[in-house]
Amino acid sequence: MTGPLSFDEVAARLLAAANTELVAINQLELQAARASTQSADRPEIYRLSVGEARRQAEALAYASHVFKHLAACPGFTFAMSPIGRGQ
């Protein structure tokens, strides 16, 4: 780790993750659509898998916007610990 993450860096990383999720959603939609057409009695395969992936992408994009706004607040600090530490 090279130092603490800035709000701008966190926002950029969250936005990149959201964009990656959107690409994955396209692939997931194709696979889920195939599964749904092969099993017409189970449309929840498509709805649940694609719906959850889409909600994840929306949450990441929203978090990116939140961090962009936090970056504009000079007195605000946010403590983050690396994954797996300080839990």
pLDDT at 46: 67
pLDDT for 5 equals 72
Tokens (6 digits) for 17: 């993750």
- How many C-beta atoms lie closer than 10 Å to residue 57's C-beta? 19
Element (H, E) at 67: helix 44-71
The pLDDT, as a whole number, for residue 62 is 85
Query: pLDDT tens track of the chain, all 87 residues?
Result: 566 777 788 888 888 888 888 777 777 777 777 766 666 566 676 677 777 777 878 888 888 888 888 778 877 766 655 554 444
Q: Using an 8 Å Cβ cutoff, are 70 and 7 in contact?
A: yes
Q: Is residue 20 part of a domain?
A: yes
| pLDDT in the model for residue 87 | 43
What total of structural domains would you count in the chain?
1
Quote the domain boundaries for residue 40.
Answer: 7-71
**Cβ 39 vs Cβ 45: under 8 Å:** yes
Looking at the domain assignment, is residue 81 inside a domain?
no
Measured distance CA(85)–CA(18) in Å, rounded: 24
In a domain, 86, yes or no: no
